[in-house]
Structure 1
Amino acid sequence: MRLRNTLRISIALLLVFLASSVLMAQNNTEPWVCYPTANTTGYGVYHFRKAFVLDTEPAELRVHISADNRYELFVNGQRACFGPAKGDLKTYKYDVLDLAPFLKEGENIIAVLVFNMGNDKPMAFISAQTAFLFRSEDPVFAFINSDQGWKTFRNEAYDPILYEELDTRSWVKGYYACGPGDEVFADRYPWGWETLAYDDSGWMVPEVLDFQGKAPWNLVARNIPFMDTHMETPQAIRRAAGVKVPPGFLKGRSAITVPAQTQARILFDYEVFTMGYPELTVENGAGSALKVRYAEALYEGPNIKGHRDSVDNLTMYGVFDIFHTDGEKRTFRPIWKRAFRYVEVDITTGEESLQLLSLRSQYSGYPYPDMGTFESNDPQLNELFEMGLRTLRMCSGETYYDTPYYEQLSYGGDNRPIASISFYNSTDDRLFREMMRLYPQSVNQETRLFKSAYPSRFNFDQGTWSLAWVQSLWDYFVFRGDTAFVQQLAEPIEGVLNFYLYNLDESMGLLGPIHTRNFMDWSMHKGTVPQPRPRFVLRHSAMLTLYYAHTLDCAVKLYEMLGEEEKARYWEQVSAKIKTAVFIHCWDEEKQLIADFPDKKQFSQHTNILAILCDAVAPVSQPALFDRVVSYEHFDERASSYFAFFLFKAMQKAGRGHLFLEHLDFWEGFQEKGFTTFGETGFASHDRSDCHAWSAHPSYYLLSLVCGIQPADTGFNRVRIAPNLNGLQKVSASMPHPKGRIQVHYQVVGGKLRAEVVLPDGLSGDWCFGTEHIPLNSGVNRIETLL
């Protein structure tokens, strides 16, 4: 009787369990888990494992994976992917991956590293709490979903090196926001945890998180590709102290032996700026400590960098990691990417000698498989072009970056020149669209402006960068004619335009007072901005008013293309009125320039550049005004290498494209100082970032202005070829286009220009040179004309 009752009870419990399991499967479509008792927002590194057996290898096994803050996935010991792509809680990303290529018949292991970098996590990380999600698209494989069938372990080997310990302010100007360094103790690390052979019997069962259908992450699928990854190695050892370096080390033919009770220091040079995940492999040397420091360049003193190729008598300073050895063969790899040209390894050994076996790095950046090309008879110009493309690659990851070393943040103002470069080097616009889509999600509900950078945890908005976002949408539309994408952003466009409309002083028609941050450019003189500091109130600024007018002009053209004629005419009238007001109040007849303010005490290149771009002066007067912009010697502020993006646009608009090669001083200066990417400003007073993609636009202008490859209509359905060779004798260039590759070849012979223009099938256009206008057809077009 007792057995029968027990059986009945067991059957009843089983039915209840099965019913509840089905209900859970129906309701819990986002199976988030975490380590039990984990600090939900604090620093922590966690491991998750799931072992399972397959009777046969599946043809396909698509899974979704995500984590807060980040994850790294291994399948059968092989690194498969890492993510998720950056986003925010409104559109938190999960990655989709086919596991089938990594699986085998029989026993398999899925292993996932999950980490939360705590209070000092990169400013671009938006987080709710430590958590991990894994699920199969196919219900047949639901047994691999993240649940209590997994095992988890908290890794106590990690101790974060916080910002105050990195001490970035001592030698480095400005803001650092890329997360803490890693201090790792090898004797605490669960080595081999990602392999099937590892014994996880002592690991815990994860906690299943129940949010009652209200998880803080609104999950959406990753909408950009996985990062390009490949291995890179240092090209030279520039100096070594306390140790002898055998000649075959960099080629992997020998190891560096550091004797016991020794302090040694080795400086590695990758010879170009790069980014990714360094991997330092050592053996023996129990009780040794290795400090791995990363830098763009070496320093003459605090805030003063030396020539980028120089190391003698210079100080290596930068953020760092620390690895403590346990005597076994181990590889140290930081959990988040680093950016560097130089890597210095500072070694302190204990009672045993240490073998340094290798140093290499896994590059991580957005894939650009089919970039533009430029080759001329000027080797320095060719190098400049390649430096610009390298800068673009280094500043493209899961978002565009301002600087990969210091911030890895996506700023609305930076993104305009970055996007223009990318349009000439890729037909893959997914990263651009993601940046444009994400940015309005940071909207301030009161002002309708967006954050300075986003994704970010900043709590302030930025007016000018919100305007730049509108400008960038117009640039995109010119190239792609993507009506559907732009239409969905109509509301945030209106919000930005209306904020400035509400802040117009109707008595003068100029903006002000403005109670928001309005960065325009770095100052040549003060290391600040050509306006008062961002927190100050701006009143009647011609520069800001014309920047608004330029944005309105972009918006008007967008509305016209979208068929919104009423909105187009309305904003066109607003723009016309404020341009007239700027000219009335700020034009200086004696100087033949527009002043920055109505009192006419301050003048900048910036204001007059913008006056050309938005037709605040009549088109017939623009060539003369541009000549004043580049010749007037008494400006209070001059454009940096960033704002030169607008200078060159004004140059092109004013018909002065033949002057382009005469105004590359900033970039020639970068080359003279040994840069391999382009820096932040070009001003000696602001020598912070060696890699800043807002300065890389000469690579764009070499194709669009010098080679003259330009969209002839919105959507780039036709091409306009209007070269400005600026004295070059020979040029060959190409760029990707959705229909194929556009190629141009120019050669100057005996006072004549011989041109060959090759257009892909389905693309036609026009040749415009001097007074010549010749139609171009798909295929090879050959033209000979007098210079």
Structure 2
Amino acid sequence: MENKMIKILGIILMLITGNLYAQQIADKDKKSVQKEEFVRKYLSPVRIVWQSNSSEGSIKNIGQLLKEGNGQADLSSTALCVLESNATGKPSFLVDFGKEIHGGLQLVTGRWENKRPVKIRIRFGESVSEAMSEIGEKGATNDHAMRDFVTELPWLGKLETGNTGFRFVRIDLIDENAKLHLKEVRAISVYRDIPYLGSFKSSDERLNKIWETGAYTVHLNMQEYLWDGIKRDRLVWVGDMHPEVATINSVFGYHEVVPKSLDLSKDITPLPGWMNTISTYSMWWIILQHDWYMHHGNLDYLKQQQPYLQGLLRQIVSKIENNKEKLDGVRFLDWPSSEDKQGIHAGLQAMMVWSLSVGKELSIILEDGETASLCETALSGLKKYVPKHNNSKQAAALMALSGLMPAKQADKEVLSVGGTKNFSTFYGYYMLQAQAKAGNYQEALNNIREFWGAMLDLGATTFWEDFNMEWKENASRIDELVSAGKKDIHGDYGAYCYVGHRHSLCHGWASGPTAWLTEHVLGIKVTAPGCKEITIKPNLADLDYAEGTFPTPFGILQVKHTRKANGSVHTEIKAPKGVKIIK
């Protein structure tokens, strides 16, 4: 009997240790999958934009660079692109890879007589004008990422270099009296290989393209952390994250880059500091925690935030005097409004109301009655004081969304005045949200078409850090050389930290229309934590139909809305099991 028991215990132990080993393997595989999610895709140029004239040295067979390559130098290739310099002329050319990408450049070389390395200069650009510029010219810089530098190429070999955001590359032969044989010049696109689970399609192709462009903009910024831009700043800015996360929730569903970035911001900002030194950015962190919990329902993760959340909410409450915000740190909404002190004050008052309202909700969920009560008391006072919006669309939007001002009033007095005049790529999202709250879906759609569509008209494949409709007048496209008498849309505009070519043309905070179209045109709104309940109320405005998908923890939600001859809308819904649909 004793031997039998020993054998049974041995079998149980084997099963336990086997399961532990299996779990260890699963955990290891999971980490490996996360690590291997980044892929490198090689892209050949789609066109030669420009090449130097014959007086600056010769370029032969440049069309070879447009052919699909394999990244391998060999002894058999004869039809190579040959650049040859002399004592007075050094050739150069500019290629277009067709769309904005994040990554670097691969150059494959052939043979030349002296076998010595050949020196070249590489200039990456988000626009043609940036790739053609000198450092310091119209704001061109190497800040955050090296995009203009000199390197050497080996004889009969390969070099991979660069780590920035770009679409265009200019290459100059630097050595005098030298020959360079180029077999290939390919972009290395580095991105997360993840599926687009969400989708949007309507009777307006312009809106469809805008939705896709916003999704792609954020996808490129989902690098090691969730960045604001792939050229500049390549940092985790918490305010920028709010529209980015709204887009991620609408397109990709759960992704670890979000909590990883939220946690980084918390870990590097001990209280009483403000995230990124900006008080509103700490408030955006609270709102992001609420949005993330609503979409994914991870209570364990939310509980991990409780000590910091509790301290941050108390810190915000301590910055109230006589029912008015008295926030320290950098007082900031967005750059275009940064000189409007009254508008900023109104916006900060609204942000306090918004963040303390969701902070109260989170405290209730976390069974922290004391903090919830503290928030409620502060809110009752804050709502008694309604500052003047000073005709700031940023302030009016926040006041409408926080309930400090009726949304219809904010829309009539401020948001709809002048159409997209004084819109911004970041706060444009909240202006659209406020117009939706006012029921003005048609005007919001028109604004999306005009403002974000204008960037597409100027050659954008990702949305920009900032944009002003006045810039469009007599402006060149970003994918062409600037003609005499025309404005350089990239180099001639911009302000504050984004003057000229320093301006990021791939900025995640500009993706708002992607999330907005999913929420308001498809009408998909999460109304219970973890997507257990979703309300669907479409708003087609002037569209004939709209359809799409939405990722939930339970699977993909599908909707299709079609306008019937009598003007009513027919809706078809296919929801995954576990999601309750409210119409």
Count of paired positions: 501
Q: Which residue of 2 aligns with 1:380?
A: 206
Bigger RCO (CA 8 Å, 6+ sep): 2
Does structure 1 residue 625 correspond to structure 2 residue 410?
yes
Q: Which residue of 1 aligns with 2:558?
A: 743
For residues 665-712 of structure 1, give each alpha carbon's deviation from its aligned partner in whole angstroms, at most 9, with x where no partner exists: 320221121111000122245261111010111011111111111213
Q: Which residue of 2 aligns with 1:715?
A: 530
Which of 385, 389, 395 is residue 607 of structure 1 equivalent to?
A: 395
TM-score for the superposition, normalised by structure 1 = 0.59
CA–CA distance in 2 between the matches of 1:426 and 1:502?
38
CA–CA distance in 2 between the matches of 1:697 and 1:395?
14
Deviates more, 1:692-701 or 1:371-380: 371-380
User: Aligned in 2, Cα 1:232/1:540: closer, same or farther, shift over 3 Å?
Assistant: closer
The offset of 1:469, in angstroms, is 0.6
Which of 265, 270, 275 is residue 102 of structure 2 equivalent to?
A: 275
Instruction: Indicate conservation of the 8 Å contact 2:45/2:65, yes or no.
Output: no
Instruction: Indicate conservation of the 8 Å contact 2:100/2:462, yes or no.
Output: yes
CA–CA distance in 1 between the matches of 2:205 and 2:343?
47
The offset of 1:227, in angstroms, is 1.6
Does structure 1 residue 264 correspond to structure 2 residue 79?
no
Which AA in structure 2 matches 1:388? G
User: Aligned in 2, Cα 1:556/1:234: closer, same or farther, shift over 3 Å?
Assistant: same
The offset of 1:735, in angstroms, is 2.2
Instruction: Indicate conservation of the 8 Å contact 1:366/1:398, yes or no.
Output: no
Which AA in structure 2 matches 1:721? I
CA–CA distance in 2 between the matches of 1:290 and 1:495?
54
Q: Which residue of 2 aligns with 1:409?
A: 235
Instruction: Indicate conservation of the 8 Å contact 1:275/1:394, yes or no.
Output: yes
The offset of 1:319, in angstroms, is 2.4
Instruction: Indicate conservation of the 8 Å contact 2:85/2:173, yes or no.
Output: no
Instruction: Indicate conservation of the 8 Å contact 1:449/1:496, yes or no.
Output: no
1:116-131 equivalent positions in 2, closer than 5 A: none
Which AA in structure 1 matches 2:138? N
The offset of 1:659, in angstroms, is 3.2
Which AA in structure 2 matches 1:412? V
User: Aligned in 2, Cα 1:234/1:464: closer, same or farther, shift over 3 Å?
Assistant: same
Q: Which residue of 1 aligns with 2:169?
A: 343
Instruction: Indicate conservation of the 8 Å contact 2:65/2:185, yes or no.
Output: no
CA–CA distance in 2 between the matches of 1:487 and 1:556?
14
CA–CA distance in 2 between the matches of 1:364 and 1:699?
23
Does structure 1 residue 549 correspond to structure 2 residue 365?
no
Which of 690, 694, 697 is residue 505 of structure 2 equivalent to?
A: 690
Instruction: Indicate conservation of the 8 Å contact 2:51/2:92, yes or no.
Output: yes
Which of 706, 712, 715 is residue 521 of structure 2 equivalent to?
A: 706
User: Aligned in 2, Cα 1:363/1:490: closer, same or farther, shift over 3 Å?
Assistant: same
Instruction: Indicate conservation of the 8 Å contact 2:229/2:235, yes or no.
Output: yes
CA–CA distance in 1 between the matches of 2:233 and 2:465?
13
CA–CA distance in 1 between the matches of 2:343 and 2:442?
37
CA–CA distance in 2 between the matches of 1:298 and 1:244?
22
Q: Which residue of 2 aligns with 1:426?
A: 252
CA–CA distance in 2 between the matches of 1:224 and 1:650?
39
User: Aligned in 2, Cα 1:274/1:509: closer, same or farther, shift over 3 Å?
Assistant: same
Q: Identical aligned pairs, as a percentage?
A: 20
The offset of 1:96, in angstroms, is 6.3
Which of 520, 539, 546 is residue 731 of structure 1 equivalent to?
A: 546
Secondary structure (helix, strand or coil) at the match of 1:237 reads strand
1:219-238 equivalent positions in 2, closer than 5 A: 226-238=37-49
The offset of 1:426, in angstroms, is 1.7
For residues 556-614 of structure 1, give each alpha carbon's deviation from its aligned partner in whole angstroms, at most 9, with x where no partner exists: 11112223233223202201211212x2xx3xxxxxxxx14xxxxx4412222222222
1:562-641 equivalent positions in 2, closer than 5 A: 562-581=366-385, 583=386, 586=387, 595-596=388-389, 602-617=390-405, 621-632=406-417, 638-641=422-425
Does structure 1 residue 500 correspond to structure 2 residue 316?
yes
Structure 2: segments with no counterpart, 5+ residues: 1-20, 53-57, 70-78, 141-145, 472-492, 495-499
CA–CA distance in 1 between the matches of 2:29 and 2:294?
34
For residues 241-287 of structure 1, give each alpha carbon's deviation from its aligned partner in whole angstroms, at most 9, with x where no partner exists: 23133434321484201235362111110111001131111123435
Q: Which residue of 2 aligns with 1:180?
A: none
Structure 1: segments with no counterpart, 5+ residues: 1-58, 64-94, 99-219, 306-317, 453-460, 533-537, 587-594, 597-601, 768-787
User: Aligned in 2, Cα 1:384/1:762: closer, same or farther, shift over 3 Å?
Assistant: same
Q: Which residue of 2 aligns with 1:654?
A: 438
Deviates more, 1:469-478 or 1:607-616: 607-616
CA–CA distance in 2 between the matches of 1:371 and 1:413?
25
1:758-777 equivalent positions in 2, closer than 5 A: 758-767=574-583
Which AA in structure 2 matches 1:698? P
Which of 260, 263, 268 is residue 437 of structure 1 equivalent to?
A: 263
1:237-256 equivalent positions in 2, closer than 5 A: 237-241=48-52, 242-252=58-68, 254-256=79-81
CA–CA distance in 1 between the matches of 2:316 and 2:534?
35
CA–CA distance in 1 between the matches of 2:284 and 2:527?
23
Deviates more, 1:689-698 or 1:724-733: 724-733
Instruction: Indicate conservation of the 8 Å contact 1:448/1:495, yes or no.
Output: no
CA–CA distance in 2 between the matches of 1:364 and 1:551?
36
Instruction: Indicate conservation of the 8 Å contact 2:48/2:93, yes or no.
Output: yes
Cα root mean square deviation, aligned = 3.1
CA–CA distance in 1 between the matches of 2:176 and 2:414?
64
Which AA in structure 2 matches 1:643? Y
Instruction: Indicate conservation of the 8 Å contact 2:561/2:571, yes or no.
Output: yes
For residues 13-65 of structure 1, give each alpha carbon's deviation from its aligned partner in whole angstroms, at most 9, with x where no partner exists: xxxxxxxxxxxxxxxxxxxxxxxxxxxxxxxxxxxxxxxxxxxxxx99x99xx
CA–CA distance in 1 between the matches of 2:344 and 2:393?
17
Does structure 1 residue 363 correspond to structure 2 residue 177?
no
The offset of 1:221, in angstroms, is 10
CA–CA distance in 2 between the matches of 1:414 and 1:502?
25
Secondary structure (helix, strand or coil) at the match of 2:197 reads coil
CA–CA distance in 2 between the matches of 1:497 and 1:549?
11
1:388-399 equivalent positions in 2, closer than 5 A: 388-399=214-225
Instruction: Indicate conservation of the 8 Å contact 1:377/1:729, yes or no.
Output: yes
In terms of fraction of residues, the more helix-rich structure is: 2
CA–CA distance in 1 between the matches of 2:563 and 2:117?
67
The offset of 1:530, in angstroms, is 4.2
The offset of 1:399, in angstroms, is 0.7
Instruction: Indicate conservation of the 8 Å contact 2:347/2:394, yes or no.
Output: yes
The offset of 1:645, in angstroms, is 1.8
Secondary structure (helix, strand or coil) at the match of 2:334 reads coil
Deviates more, 1:669-678 or 1:680-689: 680-689
CA–CA distance in 2 between the matches of 1:613 and 1:628?
15
For residues 103-150 of structure 1, give each alpha carbon's deviation from its aligned partner in whole angstroms, at most 9, with x where no partner exists: xxxxxxxxxxxxxxxxxxxxxxxxxxxxxxxxxxxxxxxxxxxxxxxx
Q: Which residue of 2 aligns with 1:284?
A: 111
The offset of 1:439, in angstroms, is 1.1
User: Aligned in 2, Cα 1:415/1:564: closer, same or farther, shift over 3 Å?
Assistant: same
Q: Which residue of 2 aligns with 1:139?
A: none
1:304-343 equivalent positions in 2, closer than 5 A: 319-326=147-154, 328-334=155-161, 337-343=163-169
User: Aligned in 2, Cα 1:279/1:613: closer, same or farther, shift over 3 Å?
Assistant: same
User: Aligned in 2, Cα 1:609/1:676: closer, same or farther, shift over 3 Å?
Assistant: same
Instruction: Indicate conservation of the 8 Å contact 1:448/1:492, yes or no.
Output: no
CA–CA distance in 1 between the matches of 2:32 and 2:302?
21
Instruction: Indicate conservation of the 8 Å contact 1:610/1:646, yes or no.
Output: yes
Does structure 1 residue 509 correspond to structure 2 residue 323?
yes
The offset of 1:382, in angstroms, is 1.4
Does structure 1 residue 476 correspond to structure 2 residue 261?
no
Deviates more, 1:337-346 or 1:743-752: 743-752
Q: Which residue of 2 aligns with 1:201?
A: none
